[in-house]
Every structure is written in structure tokens, then in C-alpha cells.
């Protein structure tokens, strides 16, 4: 049985000492003082640790079952889902006009981290719903919003996103699902979609599918794609449920992990659908949710590793094996606890320093989305730049972190009994879905770097520069600002290399895209750690707050700067080797 | 259904063009000319690809079952095991006096790679037997050898190694299993052992357990440990099987992978056992097999990733998605194959350049063991130094490589259908068993570096230096020798840092041990690639051999030197940060 301790204090530090949430001038944020967010986070943490976490292993073991065309979720998921609805958690950051609580997105992300950490597969049922809610909220007609949103805010109905087809994954232009216009303004949707998370289940009365399909007249490739609302059960004028629609589950996939979530093959056989947003502008409608959706997966990537780390710490303190090389530390025991050994520390510090940096980056990204939603175009541009980094870097490193945590257990980590294998298997999907990480790197280097004339990446560099200038003195200057400057210089050199080369040979940039994403990730986490260090040192100097917590924060940050940030040099060297070593071989030579 | 193509040509290149096997002056090796080894490798490859590989997914899906105290292996394993025995593969490098074929270990490793690649879980049944064979061969009495070895060489009986107990893993000094001496010279063994691979099954008539236990009078800790032979069925004077011994399977573990191999809890309830080797010298007896056993797991680590890579290549050539940024390459298709995309290439080149380097290192290590077995003390010292590197680095990177290969498949890699998940799950164990990789790093830095006054690490540096001096000119000099020199310098700087610091604070060395293991691994692979480059360039210059193969070899090597070797700088920086960032926090602060 695994443990899960909600990291409320660490979140409070990030929200108030670093982001200074209630003073950030955002409408609605001024009420979010320490007491308020603590109450919200405590309550979410209680649900996560007491209700969701105990079902994590159950979901993994039982998985979902397809019985006579209906998907059955694991034991206990229904009651837990009801508890989540009853607590209003599904409505937290939704529009009050449709029953939401109108909280900012950053609070949704903070509570979301806990739900993911406790039970990632379970949380996807409401997570996907939130994505579909956002799409309808942004692009739906008044009638569509009235019809669907209140029920989706409460999660009486859940939502899905249907993009992938067997032959068409990243390349959506190839999709074949057809939408035939009907005289009444609706469409008949026909085709097969795969990898549909939460595609069907027994937790809600209805499932609202958002489906990408091609309606006549849209032209080739992605230009011909539109987005449709296709409910499992048709909805009557009065809001009650009508006939079963022509959509069914063809099969459930057997997966490496997230067994508790139903990954469905969905068959659309002339199912009734309604256009969402503009005809032939389906890709654009999908892309408006992209930042949120990808930040959500970045969140999953590290959140999955949070309990893995916590359990590894507990095991390292409990498990007696060997003696400290500097002298016995647990004389009354048969051996010292694992945590005395430097290499165990090295692993735990790698985990801890990544996870706290990742949390800060995810919350900063969410805060930027709140600003963007309030009309701040610079924030919108910056978060759009950071999104592939958040998604790609945090999921790669989150998986790596879960593997490190599993390793602490030795052989006990490899058997399923202790739950460490599940964390690793679950974390693995985050590197793949919502755009595989190679696609994130391509998005970053191929699109985001040059977006709006390179304005956003310049803004990021300016932000780092201004921050370094302001805080360059004192111990924080030596331990944090100096390495941040060096890492940021590596990033700028890499960006410059791409700019100089990519006109002549775009492969020079794309061959280094993955390394650039990681290089950027390290600089972003370096910036997060520098910001946290400034906040922690400030509180310490003022004699404010818990000194042990603040000193631990500084020590953890120093570890990141000293032992993780040097990776930027290797990424830069890889980038600067250009396309030749990557592209030299003929395909037949592999 | 996954594919597996035995890499015979690459092995032939390693054995003959680089190691120059038949000219290396080893007794018995002069007969191993190209034709002979090709025939052996072809035959092993045929068994691997045609018989073992098709059962890999079957083993994963079915796993083993415990039925009325007897372990049942997956469907088809029995016939495949018979085919392996009939082919004489279990006897390949065993002593002819006991029915072996007397081939060198290096050939056992080459064929072993194929068997592991094809079906790692299956191959463990004979792999563990080989380990037990070696122990009895090295330490058994004449009678013990006559009784057990012929049957173990043929795998009519299989073997196991019983070390771990629930509370005692790495720290074997804590083990509690007792050995009570009996008047007839035997012992009664009582205790519980866990994680016993191939602990029981239905593939052989008898299972010969080698068990670490404490006999009276040996003192505390590891000093009190002896090694015992405990057969499942007692063996009569005439060699026939007698009564069932007091050893039974308590349970089968559910694991993340290697489902086809039975990982057993073994209960010894006064089971009859016989001392193997000297009383109270059990650890020493175990350690004589350590180099072979750990090299065997290093082999598993990369061998597991070989078919993962091969399948990723096939998928990347077959799957159409997107268009090359430099212009359409597959005009008649709906899209270009994945392999046109630079980031897919980057991943495939990472995989290919690691795997071929790893193969070369494993074969070099095996060749050194052959030399050591022939009495070469320098070879013994060198391979003893390299063993933790081979085990730790090749398994970490092998797992990473399998993950990279899985990623090529996108969502299709996460579902179990395509077999990529199994490669990842299977590879994961190699980082853990036979000494978790953190323990390998400790062995390297805490023991091997200083062994015999640092003689072996100095010999390694001398070997690199002499090689660099001899081949420093020309294109190989620029592309291979120069980066190898730089990387080797990083390794020497790190070793020097440890020497200077470790007297004052051993934690300064141990905090960097893991990075040192990886730094060493990169230098070792850099040396392997430089050696392969010299061989390939030599053949090209002489107009000898397949020019396409040789040029591909050179290009793959250049990739490793340019894009992997720069990691040494990051590892060095981490090492040089010393113990403080690692050890600073109190245990309570985690």
C-alpha cells in the first residue's frame, strides 16, 4: 500500500511567496489569500489522499472491462467519482454561468496535481471532461452551451476528445472520419477513432464526444477538418436523455499502464453530430485548448512521480541495509537505513529538486494562462512558447523520476506488490499522448521560436536577464543567478545556431529540437529555482516563516543548480553538431 | 508480432575485425575463424528468431502459474527448451569433461545476446543454470562435480542462486537462513529466500539450488556465510532421483516484466544440503562468479533493447505520417515515412550507436574473461574493473534505449499489442538484479578504483593512451581519437578528484559514484567506437569487405562521438560538486 502526502505547504509557498497570487492584479485573484487557498488545498488533499489514492492500485489491478458494449470501471470508482462531484471539484475553475465556481486556472492546476498524484487513471475521467467543456465554452453556440455545459461542469455527463485514427496520429490531415450534412443542420458521423481515453464508462449518465471529421468541401489535409459534438445519448429539448446515438465501443486497449481509465476504440456509424465552431476550422478550435491540455499532461508527468518520490523516501528511511561509510548511524539496528548512503541521497535529491521545480513551472504556466484569459497578450505569447517545454520536459523527467524512485526499492520495486511499478507504467503515457514529445520539440523549434518574429523567446530571455540583474548579489547571486546566467547563455547560443542555420538547412534545427526542448526545460527550472531562492532567502532574512522549510528549499535549489543545470552544456554540444551525424545514413542502413 | 533479426554480421565484425579472435593467442581460439563462428552464430540466430522469439509475447501474456506447489511455464516453453538442449546450446562453453563443448566464453556471450534478445525470460532458465554450473565447477568436490555437472551442462537439471531474503538484499550479512550440520556431513537448511529466478518450473527433472546460509561458528555478518547445494530431488548414488527434498515454492511474484520466468519465494524447511567450497567462505565462492554473472546482466540490458530498436526501425520505415521538412519524399503515398523526420533519426541513431558500442564492450569483456581464465592476471584485473561499468551502464542505457524505441511507436507503443511495452518492462529488471546499479557504482568507486593500488584503472588509461597515440592521425584521428582523448581526460580528472578527496571525506567520492560509472561507460564506449573505426577504416582502405557496412559503421561511430560523448563533461561537473549538495539535508527534510 503506497502513501500519498498532499504537498500543501510547498504549493502555498509557490502560490504566495513566489507567484504572489492575490497581489498579482488579476481579477478574481485578490480573494485568493493564504487562508483561502490553504483551505481549498487541504480539502482537495483530503479527497486525494483518503478517497482517490486507495483506489489507485485497485484500478491498476482490475482495469476496465467491456461487458455487452458497456465499459465497467474498477470497484469503488463510482463512489469516488460521486465524492469528487459532491465536493464541487469538477466545477472549480468553470464558468459560474454554467454552475462553475469561477476559480482561476492556477488553483485548478494545484488541486489537479493532487488528484493526479493520488490516482491518475481515475482523474482522467474528469480531466477529459474539462477539456471538452473548454472547447464547447470557447466555440459553442449559446444553445450548445446551455445544453451541455451545466451537465459537464457537474460531471453528470463526461467528455472526450476524438482525434486519432488507426492510420492517422500526429498527422491529422489524413483522417478519414466523414461528416455528412443533414437537412436539419446536423451531420451524420461515420468512421473509427482509437485511443479515446474515457471513451465510455459507468460513471456518468452521458458521454459527450468531441470528434474531428471531414465535412464535404473543406479541401485536402487539415483544412478540411471540422469539430463535432456527438453525444452518446441524444439530448431532448427539455434536457432529458433521448435515444442512443450511433456510437459504440469497438474494443478496450490493453495498455502498459493507466489501467483504470478506459482507452476505447470508438466506432461512429452514422452517429448524429453537431458542428462545434466554424465549418472546416476544426483544427483551430482544437488548438485553442492546446496550451491548457498540454500543460495538463505536463502536470500529469511530474505529478505521477510525486507519490513515487514520497514512497521512495519512506522506504529509504525504513529499510535497513548496510552501514554508512562515515560511521554507524543506527547502532541499535541491524544496519543503517538506506538514506544514509550517498548514492541513495543523490537519487532522492535528483527527484526532489526536479519535482519542486516542476511544480513551480506548472503553476507559473497556469498563472500565465489566467493572465492570458484576462486579455494579457504577452502572457499568452509566453505560455504558448513554454507549453511544449512544460509538456515535453516535465513528462520526460517525470518518468525518469518515477524510475529513480522505483530503483530505491531494489527488487521490491520490480514486483507489483509495492506499487512502484505502477507509477512508472502510468507515467510512461504522458511522454506520448497529447502530442508525443518529439512533436512538442518540433512545435517549439519549428513554430514557437519564430512566432511573432521571435518576440516571445526574446521576452523570455529579457525576463531572465532582468531577474538576474535584480538579484545578482549575495549568496543567491552566487548559488543561483550565476549558474542561471550560464545556462541561459547556452540556450541563447542554441537559439542563435538554429536561426543562422535553419534557412539554409532546416534539418540543422530539427536535429537539435529535442535537445533544445530539454535545454530550455533546464533553464526554465533554473529560473524557477532562482525565483524560489529569492523568495526563501527574503523570508529568512525577514525572519518570516518556517526556517527549516526555507533552508531546505534553498539547499534543494542549490542541488538543482549544481547537479542538474550542467546538462545544458551537453545539450548545446549535441545541438551544435548539427544535422550531419543525424541525417547521414540512408534509411536502408538502419 | 515483433520481428527479430540476429545481428550476425555485426558480431562477426566485432569478433574478427576488432578482437581478432583466432589470432589473439588464446588456447582454443585459433580454431575460431570467420567461417566457424559464422556457422555457430547463424545456427544460434535461427533458434533465437524462429523458436524463441515467437514465444516472447506468449510468455509475457501467460506468465507462470503455481499449481499445487508446482510451477507451470507458458505454452511452448517446454518444446523450445528441448530444442535449446538438443542444439547443445546449454553446453556451448562448458567443460568437455562434463559433456560441454569447450567453446570460449566470448562465443557464449555472442550466442547469449541472441537468446536474450529473442526471449529474455525464457533464456533465464538456462542462464541461471550456467551460473550454478560455474560455481560448482569452481568450488565443488570431484564427487559433486560428477554428480551434478553433466546433468546441468545438458540442462536436464537446472540451477538457481539463492541469496536474497525479505530483510536482506544488498546487505547479505543480515541473512538468517540456517544450516545445521548433520552427522553424515550434510546440513539441514532452514529459512526463506525471495526473488529466486527460475526457482521452480516444469522444464527440467530436477532443480539444483545454490543457497547462502549461516552454519554455526562463522561469526557475525558476511563472515558467517557458507554456500550449499540443495537439490529439489535428492540424488541417489547411481545418479537417479530420490526423495523430494524439504524445499518448496511459497509463492510466485507478480512483476513488471519477465513474466515468462518464475520468480519464486523459496521455503527451506530442514532441506538437505551439502557444503559447496569452504565452510564460512560462501561469499568468496559467490564472488568468483561475479564478473561472469554481472557481465551476463549487462548483456541482458542491451540485448533486450536490440529487438526494440529493430522493431522501431521497421515501424519508422513503414508508418506514414507527415512530410519531410526539406520536401516530399514519398510522393505516391499519403505521407512520408517517419524515418524522414530528423527527430526520429536522432532517436534511432541514439539507439543504434549505443547498441553496437554496447555489443563491442560486452564481447571485449567476455574476451578478457577468457584471457583471465587462461591465467592472464592483467586481463582479470581489467575485467574486474570494467564489470560494474558493463553491468551498470549497459543496463541503464539499455532500458533508456528500449524506452526510445517504444516512443517511436507513439500511442501504439503504449498498448501491449505491439510488444514494445514488454521490451521496456523486461529491460527494467536488469538495472536492479545482480546488484542494483547504485551498488555497481559503489563497487566501482569504493573497491575497484583502488584495487591493487589503482593498478587496473591506470592500465585502462594506459591502454586508451597507447591506442590514441597509435591512431591519432587521419580522419579517424579527428573524428574518434580527439573526442576519446577529451572524454578520457574527464574520467582521469574525476578519478583524481576522488583520490584527493576520499581520504578526508569518503562521501565526496560516493556522491559522485553513479556519475563516475556513467562517465566511465561513455569513455569505454568511446574506446570501443574508436577501435571499430580503426578496423572499419582499415578494411575500407584495403578495399576489403562490404563498403556500405563499413561506412555505416564509421558514420554510426561518429554520431556516438559527437552526440553521446559530450555527456562526460556533465558527469564530471556533477562529480566535482562533491558531497555537500548531496548530503546537506537532514533525513527529515526529504
pLDDT digits (tens, 9 = 90+) for A409-454: 999 999 999 999 999 999 999 999 999 999 999 999 999 999 999 9
- CA A414 to chain B, closest CA, distance in angstroms equals 6
User: Which residue of chain A has the CA closest to B353?
Assistant: A590
Query: Grid coordinates standing for A359?
Result: 511544480
* Residues of chain B positioned with their CB less than 8 A from the CB of A433: 411, 414
Give residue A289's pLDDT.
80
Tell me the C-alpha distance between A78 and A65, whole Å: 14
- Residue among A338, A343, A505 with most chain B CBs within 10 A, to mutate: A343
Q: Identify the sign of the CA torsion A113, A115, A121, A124.
A: negative
Among A195, A322, A437, select the one facing B170 at the smallest CB separation. A322
Length of chain A: 590
Query: Grid coordinates standing for A48?
Result: 486525494
Q: Which residue has the higher pLDDT, B27 or B229?
A: B229
Tell me the C-alpha distance between B267 and B250, whole Å: 6
Average pLDDT on A321-345 reads 96
The residues of A carrying an active-site annotation are: 434
Calculated CA dihedral for residues B522, B528, B530, B535, nearest 10 degrees: -170
- CA A568 to chain B, closest CA, distance in angstroms equals 8
Give residue B168's pLDDT.
93
pLDDT at B288 over 80: no
User: Which residue of chain B has the CA closest to A194?
Assistant: B411
- The residues that bridge with A230 in the sheet, in sequence order, are A209
DSSP3 helix / strand / coil % (chain B, rounded to 5): 60, 15, 25
φ and ψ of A499, to 5 deg? -60, -45
Give residue B29's pLDDT.
86
Say whether B256 and A343 touch across the interface (CB within 8 A).
Answer: no
Query: Grid coordinates standing for B487?
Result: 572524454
Going from the C-alpha of B218 to that of each of A284, B178, B223, B559, the distances in angstroms are 75, 12, 6, 54
Q: Which long-range contacts (CB under 8 A, 24 or more apart) does B39-43 make?
A: B40/B103, B40/B107, B40/B111, B41/B6, B41/B8, B41/B11, B41/B12, B41/B110, B41/B111, B41/B114, B42/B6, B42/B8, B43/B87
Q: What is the mean pLDDT of chain A?
A: 97
Pairing of β A70-72 and β A65-67: antiparallel
* Residues of chain A positioned with their CB less than 8 A from the CB of B352: 590
Give residue A370's pLDDT.
95
Give residue B292's pLDDT.
87
Give residue B286's pLDDT.
86
φ and ψ of B494, to 5 deg? -65, -45
3-state secondary structure of A233: strand
Query: Grid coordinates standing for B209?
Result: 539450488
* Residues of chain A positioned with their CB less than 8 A from the CB of B335: 171, 173-174
Which is nearest to B268 in space by CA: B309, B213, B315?
Answer: B213
- CB contact burial A480-493 (16+ within 10 A = b; e otherwise): bbebbbbbbebbbe
pLDDT at A168 over 80: yes
- What does DSSP assign to residue A433? S
Q: What is the 3-state secondary structure (H, E, C) of A346-388?
A: HHHHHHHHHHHHHHHHHHHHHHHHHHHHCCCHHHHHHHHHHHH
Say whether B585 and A556 touch across the interface (CB within 8 A).
Answer: yes
* Residues of chain B positioned with their CB less than 8 A from the CB of A583: 342, 345
Tell me the C-alpha distance between B524 and B357, whole Å: 9
- CA A82 to chain B, closest CA, distance in angstroms equals 29
Q: What angle (nearest 5°) sits at the alpha carbon of residue A205, between those of residues A202 and A208?
A: 100
Tell me the C-alpha distance between B229 and B203, whole Å: 20
* Residues of chain A positioned with their CB less than 8 A from the CB of B552: 585, 589
pLDDT digits (tens, 9 = 90+) for B506-541: 999 999 999 999 999 999 999 999 999 999 999 999
Tell me the C-alpha distance between B395 and B354, whole Å: 11
Among B432, B548, B581, select the one facing A559 at the smallest CB separation. B581
Q: How many CB pairs under 8 A join A and B?
A: 265
A379-388, B281-290, B552-561: least confidently modelled range:
B281-290
* Residues of chain A positioned with their CB less than 8 A from the CB of B494: none
- CA B401 to chain A, closest CA, distance in angstroms equals 13
Q: Going by C-beta distance under 8 Å and a sequence separation of 6 or more, which residues neighbour residue A83?
A: A47, A51
pLDDT at A288 over 80: no
Q: Residue B250: left (phi > 0), alpha (psi -120 to 50), or beta? A: alpha
Residue whose entry in the numeric block shows the C-alpha cell 468541401 = A217
- CA A241 to chain B, closest CA, distance in angstroms equals 33
pLDDT digits (tens, 9 = 90+) for A227-263: 999 999 999 999 999 999 999 999 999 999 999 999 9
Tell me the C-alpha distance between B373 and B71, whole Å: 36
Say whether A171 and B556 touch across the interface (CB within 8 A).
Answer: no
pLDDT digits (tens, 9 = 90+) for A123-157: 999 999 999 999 999 999 999 999 999 999 999 99
Among B437, B566, B581, select the one facing A349 at the smallest CB separation. B581
Average pLDDT on B420-434 reads 98
Going from the C-alpha of B542 to that of each of A107, A308, B436, B476, B554, the distances in angstroms are 69, 56, 45, 15, 15
- What does DSSP assign to residue B446? I
Cβ–Cβ under 8 Å, residues A440 and A293: no
Tell me the C-alpha distance between A43 and A29, whole Å: 19
pLDDT digits (tens, 9 = 90+) for B212-236: 999 999 988 898 999 999 999 999 9
Amino acid at each position: 500500500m503506497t502513501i500519498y502526502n498532499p504537498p500543501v505547504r510547498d504549493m502555498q509557498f509557490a502560490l504566495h511567496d513566489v507567484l504572489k497570487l492575490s497581489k498579482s492584479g488579476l481579477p478574481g485573484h485578490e480573494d485568493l489569500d493564504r487562508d483561502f487557498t490553504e483551505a481549498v488545498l487541504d480539502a482537495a488533499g483530503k479527497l486525494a489522499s483518503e478517497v482517490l489514492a486507495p483506489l489507485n492500485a485497485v484500478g491498476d489491478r482490475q482495469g476496465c472491462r467491456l461487458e455487452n458494449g458497456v465499459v465497467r470501471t474498477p470497484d469503488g470508482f463510482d463512489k469516488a467519482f460521486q465524492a469528487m462531484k459532491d465536493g464541487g471539484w469538477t466545477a472549480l475553475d468553470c464558468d459560474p454561468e454554467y454552475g462553475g465556481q469561477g476559480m482561476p486556472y492556477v488553483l485548478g492546476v494545484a488541486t489537479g496535481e493532487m488528484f493526479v498524484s493520488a490516482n491518475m487513471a481515475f482523474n482522467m475521467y474528469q480531466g477529459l471532461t474539462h477539456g471538452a467543456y473548454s472547447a464547447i465554452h470557447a466555440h459553442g453556440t449559446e444553445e450548445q452551451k446551455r445544453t451541455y455545459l451545466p451537465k459537464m461542469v457537474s460531471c453528470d455527463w463526461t467528455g472526450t476528445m476524438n482525434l486519432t485514427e488507426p492510420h492517422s496520429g500526429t498527422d491529422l490531415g489524413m483522417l478519414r472520419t466523414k461528416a455528412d450534412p443533414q437537412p436539419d443542420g446536423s451531420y451524420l458521423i461515420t468512421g473509427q477513432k482509437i485511443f479515446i481515453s474515457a471513451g465510455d464508462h459507468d460513471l456518468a449518465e452521458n458521454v459527450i464526444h468531441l470528434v474531428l471529421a471531414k465535412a464535404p468541401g473543406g479541401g485536402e489535409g487539415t483544412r478540411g477538418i471540422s469539430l463535432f459534438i456527438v453525444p452518446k445519448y441524444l439530448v431532448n429539448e427539455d434536457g432529458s436523455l433521448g435515444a442512443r446515438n450511433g456510437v459504440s465501443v469497438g474494443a478496450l486497449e490493453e495498455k502498459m499502464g493507466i489501467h483504470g481509465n478506459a482507452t476505447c476504440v470508438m466506432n461512429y456509424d452514422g452517429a448524429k453530430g453537431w458542428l462545434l465552431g466554424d465549418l472546416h476550422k476544426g483544427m483551430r478550435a482544437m488548438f485553442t485548448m492546446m496550451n491548457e491540455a498540454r500543460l495538463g499532461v505536463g502536470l500529469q508527468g511530474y505529478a505521477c512521480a510525486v507519490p513515487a518520490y514520497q514512497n521512495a523516501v519512506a522506504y529509504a528511511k525504513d529499510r535497513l541495509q548496510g552501514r554508512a561509510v562515515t560511521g554507524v548511524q543506527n547502532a541499535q539496528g541491524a544496519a543503517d537505513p538506506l538514506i544514509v548512503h550517498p548514492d541513495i541521497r543523490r537519487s532522492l535529491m535528483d527527484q526532489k529538486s526536479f519535482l519542486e521545480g516542476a511544480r513551480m513551472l506548472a503553476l507559473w504556466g497556469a498563472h500565465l494562462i489566467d493572465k492570458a484569459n484576462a486579455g494579457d497578450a504577452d502572457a499568452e505569447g509566453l505560455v504558448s512558447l513554454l507549453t511544449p517545454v512544460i509538456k515535453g520536459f516535465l513528462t520526460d523527467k517525470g518518468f525518469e523520476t518515477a524510475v529513480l524512485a522505483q530503483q530505491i526499492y531494489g527488487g521490491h520495486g520490480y514486483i507489483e506488490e509495492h506499487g512502484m511499478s505502477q507509477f512508472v507504467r502510468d507515467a510512461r503515457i504522458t511522454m506520448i499522448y497529447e502530442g508525443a514529445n518529439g512533436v512538442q520539440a518540433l512545435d517549439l523549434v519549428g513554430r514557437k521560436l519564430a512566432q511573432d518574429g521571435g518576440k516571445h523567446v526574446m521576452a523570455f530571455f529579457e525576463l531572465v536577464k532582468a531577474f538576474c540583474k535584480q538579484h545578482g548579489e549575495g549568496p543567491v547571486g552566487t548559488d543561483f543567478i550565476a549558474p542561471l546566467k550560464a545556462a541561459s547563455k547556452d540556450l541563447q547560443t542554441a537559439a542563435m545556431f538554429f536561426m543562422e542555420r535553419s534557412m539554409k538547412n532546416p534539418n540543422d534545427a530539427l536535429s537539435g529540437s529535442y535537445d533544445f526542448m530539454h535545454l530550455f526545460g533546464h533553464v526554465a527550472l533554473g529560473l524557477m529555482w532562482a525565483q524560489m531562492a529569492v523568495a526563501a532567502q527574503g523570508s529568512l532574512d525577514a525572519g518570516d516563516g518556517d526556517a527549516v522549510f526555507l533552508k531546505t528549499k534553498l539547499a534543494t535549489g542549490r542541488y538543482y543548480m549544481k547537479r542538474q543545470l550542467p546538462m545544458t552544456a551537453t545539450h548545446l554540444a549535441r545541438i551544435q553538431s548539427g544535422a550531419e551525424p543525424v541525417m547521414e545514413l540512408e534509411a536502408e542502413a538502419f
